[in-house]
Structure 1
């Protein structure tokens, strides 16, 4: 599969079959969502910077609720959580999506705003690629993200939802997450907005991959 970071919390995954999965498409956050064709779209919650499905093209199916689903051999689990640390009283609910395809399990935490309890951790185990917010303010912060990564031990950690040039959302820069993980996880800067990954590429040691977002050339 090819994993592409569009920007903010939005990723596009292209499977070997050609099917495309898009997570949390955004509205106007300082730059515009590019035109992308999708087959499946995952929306963690109804805020404008995560639910702009109108920006996408194609005959896609939207997943925006908890539950277990299977479509075209792709297993999908929507896991309930909260956008804050007050059981949703401040910002509402958040759906974590755990998607298994081509022998890999990708978990997108959306705008998770609290530390998982034991039951939630149990559902997150077995993740190969973890897309995790690290910018704080509206989500877990860098230190909390680090603690979650240590507990889940995915193969790949993809930080997201942090301050990048041109972004109008007031969240922290990646620096704070880099400081939190220093000396614990291997970290590499990819220098581009996408990479290819297969089940055969899995390694024993967890590593953090920092991607350029797809808006970098436009800002």
Structure 2
């Protein structure tokens, strides 16, 4: 019967998906556990991942990540394996130790430096002057997977420059940590899909130089991260940003610049956590 001819094809297809996945050392691009779509199969949405196909650097839910707000748009992330990451690194806001990885964005000089300290192993620009497709990072550093989603930026003259900013995403210890960089526009459906789930969100709240508080709040509400860390806080009082959220969000003001977080300790309700600093 005709349908019997499909059996060998079905068996072959199942064998492909059941076959052991290559190790991280062999794989060209790691598989993100935070994305809603598969990068290599854009028409397929995975309901779950097997231990063989999932990215192994994610670690255990009990592992903790330390996040310190250094200032402006710079956070210092310390992973269980000792990887040290500084976001929007400009060389002015000094983290307490030399970073292993630094990420940068192009919009203003307060978000990058062309002269990072020697000894930083990975310097990841959020833009690519040689490609109209923007930066494309897929980097595994010990227990951490770093990737990016390009966005556009607004130039000094007001015109939009394609792919001049990146949202950097750090997958570690079962957490998906996202830094919006110098975001100048609301995200597209494609960008939301490329970002996927974000448990921790670092969001600029200045209300002008990046994006207005109302537009930024829509992005935050759409991402609905458990832990929201405001940054880029110069400008209107942060209360203007907080006023955009209803009863579905909690707000906490901290006297400390550092927070320790794990997948198990994430707030049950979306919480805007204001760390000490400017």
Structure-2-length-normalised TM-score: 0.66
What are the Cα deviations for residues 69-95 of structure 1, in whole angstroms up to 9, with x where unaligned? 32223211111101239xx93466111
Mapped pair 1:186 → 2:246: no
Mapped pair 1:34 → 2:98: no
Runs (4+) of structure 1 moved beyond 6 Å?
Answer: none
Give the drift of 1:59.
3.2
Q: Is this contact kept in 1: 2:148–2:169, CA < 8 A?
A: yes
Aligned length: 201
Structure with more strand by fraction = 1
What residue is the counterpart of 2:166 in the other structure? 95
| Cα distance in 2 for residues equivalent to 1:124 and 1:58 | 30
Mapped pair 1:144 → 2:215: yes
Give the drift of 1:203.
3.6
| Cα distance in 1 for residues equivalent to 2:238 and 2:220 | 15
Task: From the superposition, tell whether residues 76 and 55 of structure 1 become closer, same or farther in structure 2 (CA, over 3 Å).
Answer: closer
Residue ranges of structure 2 left out of the alignment (5+ in a row): 1-64, 126-134
| Cα distance in 2 for residues equivalent to 1:114 and 1:142 | 11
Q: Is this contact kept in 1: 2:199–2:226, CA < 8 A?
A: yes
What residue is the counterpart of 1:200 in the other structure? 264
| Cα distance in 2 for residues equivalent to 1:210 and 1:89 | 32
Task: From the superposition, tell whether residues 14 and 56 of structure 1 become closer, same or farther in structure 2 (CA, over 3 Å).
Answer: farther
Cα RMSD (Å): 2.2
Mapped pair 1:48 → 2:118: no
Task: From the superposition, tell whether residues 94 and 55 of structure 1 become closer, same or farther in structure 2 (CA, over 3 Å).
Answer: same
| Cα distance in 2 for residues equivalent to 1:183 and 1:62 | 40
Structure-1-length-normalised TM-score: 0.83
Mapped pair 1:84 → 2:154: yes
Q: Is this contact kept in 2: 1:187–1:208, CA < 8 A?
A: yes
| Cα distance in 2 for residues equivalent to 1:124 and 1:42 | 17
What residue is the counterpart of 1:17 in the other structure? 81
Q: Highest CA radius of gyration, 1 or 2? A: 2
Residue ranges of structure 1 left out of the alignment (5+ in a row): 164-170
Give the drift of 1:159.
1.0
